[in-house]
Chain A
Amino acid sequence: MKKLNINNLIWFIVLLCYTLFFASLLYTGRINLFIHPKMHKYTMVALIAFIILSGFQFTRIFHEDDAAEIKLGYLILILPIAIGIAYKPKALNGRWVEVRGLNLLQVENICQDHKEKSSMQEVVARDNIILLNDKNYVDTLSVIYKSKENYKGKKIIFEGFVYKQHNIGKNQFITARTVVNCCAADAQVIGFICKYDGSNGIQEDQWVRVTGTIDTTKYIDENYNKEGIIPQILVEHIEEIKEPENKNIYH
């Protein structure tokens, strides 16, 4: 009778765990917290590969036993799954902004010239109000940063989470979004400085919808010791909203 091959068995279990892990992330849509939807096809390919590999490995559980020690590598490989199960995945929060840094002076660099005209015409067309959504957020915001003077006095509506940077005024806060190009590791935070007399009453990390007009303000970037003029929103109306389903903007 063939003997059980422990290493082959463990490797089978590891592969099976990965299969189930990937399947459940895709099935529940929680994968959206981690990677850009354009990457989902690769996750799907990986899932199929894991199914094939575990199927193959299953046939080897009783293969010759070379009595080797159990390998440490299996423990390492199971770690991501253990973390994935043990903790309820959340989107990046305000602490992340502090570590990653929020450099509002750099936002205009994001602006892509060819998109400038077309996207703005589209956004402003309706009622002369600039209405930001997940799709147009990055392009529109960067255009406003780049040509702030042209948009002074225009009405704007947008949503985001509140972040209070220590180097801005007491009556100011930042309404920010997390933008992801590929996976959460490349996440960047961008947003608008909002001027509002009731800023004290607004909690950090609270999601809000802001209605206001575009103005400009001086901003000092401490990391780079630079200062510049960036857009600022004079808040006319602010309301608290529920955290959206998709907290990241996938650009």
Chain B
Amino acid sequence: MLNNFYTIFLSIILEGLPFIILGSFIASLIQVFVTEETVAKLIPKNKFLGLVMSASIGFVFPVCECAIVPIVRRLIKKGMPLNMAITFMLSVPIVNPVVLLSTYYAFSGHTNMVFLRAACGMAGAMIIGYLVSILHEGEVLKDSSVGEGHCHCHGHSHQHHDHHDHHESGHCSCGHDHNHNHERKGVILKVIEHTSIEVYDVGKLYVIGALISSAMQSFIPKAHIIAIGEGNLSSILVMFALAFVLSICSETDAFIARTFVGQFTTGSILGFLILGPMIDIKNTIMLCGSFKLSFVIKLIFVIFAICFIAAVMVNALPLAALI
């Protein structure tokens, strides 16, 4: 029994760490090369246009849900509006080429599932991004979330009281505020340095998430979850519970989902495919590390609500017949 637990745990770690590193690396590139001015210039004036834009980035940005958290918190730090950042975070793991392709293979013969997943994922992400930005006022990131505590980046001459000032202003002490300190260093070293900090910050939370997820997978029989029911609404709850607990990478979840075709309603399977990439145990833990708890709770609530509505709609509409 423990044997299975260890195997699942290590396999989640081995599968995910490369992507944690990748995400940290991209986040560091953003940190070092992208200025607030650039971000401000790129953001459309029209709010709706902004949401559409951030929901579509995934098509050319093949990053799954493990790698997205460090990138998003860095973008928020750089001044990306909350609604866009959240939409970006939720849609990228769904509408990216690798995920859609694997969905296509898994549901061969039901190609409509690919379109339904992409459409519901994008629309859902936009609505959720919009709603949480209205629901939550003020700062969303924890003051100390982005690398301060153990910031290695001050030069030797850097004084300690400066460090405390940064804390109060809620900015990363390793950011633009004292870029002059970095001038002497090579750009490459700066990127490595930030990657290292991000890997630590996100990696430790990822390990905790993987631990909980693998424990639940190895000790709670799937039959108990399935026993909740297969009715129109209860099947959706079952699939949501599975998506949240299993924490499967969005690039492979379609292969799991297809085994439920015929047993569960189409809406519930779609719900599994859009909820899983948006939120699961390990992402919740990673989010809690960067975002304020009150915000994370609101976000999870809105995600569940919107995905539930999407799943119910698919069940109710004649759409299901297409699949």
Contact = CB atoms under 8 A, between A and B. Distances in A.
Interface of A: 7-8, 11, 15, 18, 25, 31, 33-35, 39, 42-43, 45-46, 49-50, 52-53, 56-57, 60, 63-64, 66, 68, 71, 73-74, 76-77, 79-80, 83-84, 87, 89-93, 95-96, 98-101, 103, 105-106, 109-110, 112-114, 181-186, 188, 222-224, 226, 251
A60 B12 CA distance: 30
Contacts of B22: 45
21 contacts: A11-B200, A66-B160, A80-B13, A83-B9, A87-B2, A90-B7, A92-B7, A96-B4, A96-B218, A99-B221, A103-B259, A106-B260, A106-B263, A109-B258, A109-B261, A181-B252, A181-B256, A184-B7, A185-B11, A185-B248, A222-B223
Contact of B150 (A71, A91, A251): A71
Contacts of B152: 8, 60, 63
A74 B258 CA distance: 39
Interface string B122-147: 00000000000000000000000000
Contacts of B10: 34, 80, 83-84, 89
Contact of B255 (A49, A74, A186): A186
> Of A7, A84, A110, A183, which is in contact with the most chain B CB atoms at under 10 Å from its CB?
A183
Contacts of A92: 4, 7-8
B222 A99 contact: yes
A11 B150 CA distance: 11
B193 A56 contact: yes
Interface in B157-215: 160, 189, 192-193, 195-196, 199-201, 203-204, 207-208, 210-211, 213-214
B150 to A, nearest CB: 6
Determine the interface band of chain B, counting residues with CB < 8 A from chain A.
35 or more
Given A89-B10, A99-B219, A53 B258 contact: no
A136 to B, nearest CB: 17
Interface string B292-319: 0000000000000000000000000000
A61 B221 CA distance: 46
A198 B153 CA distance: 70
Interface in B69-119: 105, 108-109
B127 to A, nearest CB: 29
B12 A185 contact: yes
Contacts, number: 176
B232 to A, nearest CB: 15
Contacts of A46: 17-18, 21
Nearest to B204: A73
Contacts of B220: 99
Contacts of B13: 80
A52 B192 CA distance: 8
B196 A184 contact: no
Given A15-B196, A90-B7, 16 more contacts: A39-B15, A42-B19, A45-B21, A49-B25, A52-B192, A56-B196, A80-B207, A83-B9, A87-B2, A89-B7, A100-B221, A101-B226, A109-B262, A114-B109, A183-B249, A183-B252
A224 B261 CA distance: 13
Contacts of B108: 112-114
Contacts of A11: 196, 200
A43 B63 CA distance: 16
A87 B3 contact: yes
A84 B160 CA distance: 40
A98 to B, nearest CB: 7
Given A77-B200, A89-B7, A181 B255 contact: yes
A49 B154 CA distance: 23
Contact of B204 (A42, A76, A89, A101): A76
B321 interface: no
B222 A79 contact: no
Given A43-B14, A45-B18, A185-B15, A100 B222 contact: yes
B179 to A, nearest CB: 19
A42 to B, nearest CB: 4
B314 to A, nearest CB: 18
Given A33-B7, A71-B149, A224 B226 contact: yes
A18 B12 CA distance: 15
A35 B199 contact: no
B48 interface: no
B6 A83 contact: yes
A42 B18 contact: yes
A112 B248 CA distance: 22
B14 A31 contact: yes
A106 B109 CA distance: 16
Given A63-B152, A101-B221, A185 B214 contact: yes
A43 B18 contact: yes
Contacts of B248: 182, 185-186
B19 A53 contact: no
Contacts of A60: 152
B60 interface: no
B247 interface: yes
B227 to A, nearest CB: 7
A150 B95 CA distance: 39
B217 interface: yes
